Structure 1
């Protein structure tokens, strides 16, 4: 299979799964294994195409990002989502991620750990759906600073590959009293700065594997991920109004079973 076709397939998988609560990491590892696309170049490629998915959310929500910059200092009861909400949601994962970055990359990026994350994340999503907490934030603009920070704490679970950033934060938001839709939209907003920072850090650490010869491969994957992610984000926000979170959890369990069969049987 040609490198360009592999890049397109991997880009599509990344774009479809990055913002769904199904673990893009799990899908990327499984897809790469099936395509025989593994090694250091493949890992660097996965970092590059993640940037394409991040850019898709920025393009879709750029007006919202600009609006968040209009924050009134001292007005702690601000009811419109602003940059303080984003900063509070980012803080826990940034601190823990920077402190444990090397350990996570060394010991947690493997099939076995992804399997654990897929199953554990699915269980969390079912628990969040069944909790039936009183909803105090119907929309993203209703989310309080306390809820934003709490969502950030749950986002730390996504540092374990397979847990899923969106799965962790949406579940956390629901357990803290936000609606499923509000948590999903807030997840997309928070994902941009934290994923962008994480991608730049990973690219810097993997810079020795970047080469001019691979530019066609990387650009093709990035563009594919960008286009598909734009479609996926808009579609997911519409589906989240109707689909139960548990449906995604059951899908994760099926994916875990496929993982076991393909990788270990």
Structure 2
């Protein structure tokens, strides 16, 4: 299989799964094993296509980011999304992710651990949908600092590959009284600084392994990931206006079963 085809496939996988509650990390691990795409360059490539997905969120929520960065938004103000909300939402997972980065990479990045994460994350989503009452926060602009922090605590679950960052944060949001769209909006907004920090951290460690000859494959993956992620988020937000997370949970169970058969039962 040519490098171009691999770049397109992985760009699509990353773009579709990064912000849907199905675990992009889990899908990338499984796809990488299936395509026999691994090693040092694979690590570099995956960081760049993640940056493509991040850029799509920055474009979609540009107005909100600009609004938060205005000087008058630097102070906590009731009834509006601020930088304090974002910090509260990302601080728990940043701290724990930094402390546990090495063991997570060493012990949790395998098909079997991803399968476990897919199942556990799917169960959480079904529980959240069943336990959630009538939402008290219908817009992301109405979220409180306390709710943002608690969503951030749920986000810690996503450190386990296969669990899904958006799946854990949206499920946590539902349990905390947020509507599906408010939870999704907040999940996507806090993804930008969080994923940017994680990508830069990973990129600094592998930058010296990048060759000029790899740039074409990286550019293709980046562009494909950006376009597909943009379309996926637009579709997902419309989907949440009239549907639940249950279908994604069932998809996760099916993917876990198929993956188990592919890797361990054939």
Compared with structure 1, are the counterparts of its residues 258 and 71 closer, same or farther at alpha carbon in structure 2 (3 Å cutoff)? Answer: farther
Where do 5+ consecutive residues of structure 1 fail to align? none
**Structure 1 residue aligned with 2:199:** 199
Task: State the TM-score, normalized to the length of structure 1.
Answer: 0.96
**Cα deviation, residue 30, structure 1:** 1.9
> What secondary structure does 2:55 align onto?
helix
Task: State the TM-score, normalized to the length of structure 2.
Answer: 0.96
Verify: 1:253 aligned to 2:253, yes or no: yes
CA distance in 1, matches of 2:76, 2:83: 12
Aligned residues: CA RMSD: 1.5
* Alpha carbons 2:76, 2:84 under 8 Å: kept: no
**Structure 2 residue aligned with 1:208:** 208
**Structure 2 residue aligned with 1:153:** 153
* Alpha carbons 1:133, 1:176 under 8 Å: kept: no
CA distance in 2, matches of 1:234, 1:73: 26
CA distance in 2, matches of 1:61, 1:181: 14
* Alpha carbons 1:51, 1:199 under 8 Å: kept: yes
Where do 5+ consecutive residues of structure 2 fail to align? none
* Alpha carbons 1:71, 1:83 under 8 Å: kept: no
* Alpha carbons 1:71, 1:82 under 8 Å: kept: no
**Structure 2 residue aligned with 1:179:** 179
Verify: 1:13 aligned to 2:27, yes or no: no
**Structure 2 residue aligned with 1:123:** 123
Compared with structure 1, are the counterparts of its residues 74 and 216 closer, same or farther at alpha carbon in structure 2 (3 Å cutoff)? Answer: closer
Moved over 4 A (4+): 71-77
**Structure 2 residue aligned with 1:61:** 61
User: Bigger CA drift: 239-248 or 174-183?
Assistant: 239-248
Compared with structure 1, are the counterparts of its residues 231 and 73 closer, same or farther at alpha carbon in structure 2 (3 Å cutoff)? Answer: closer
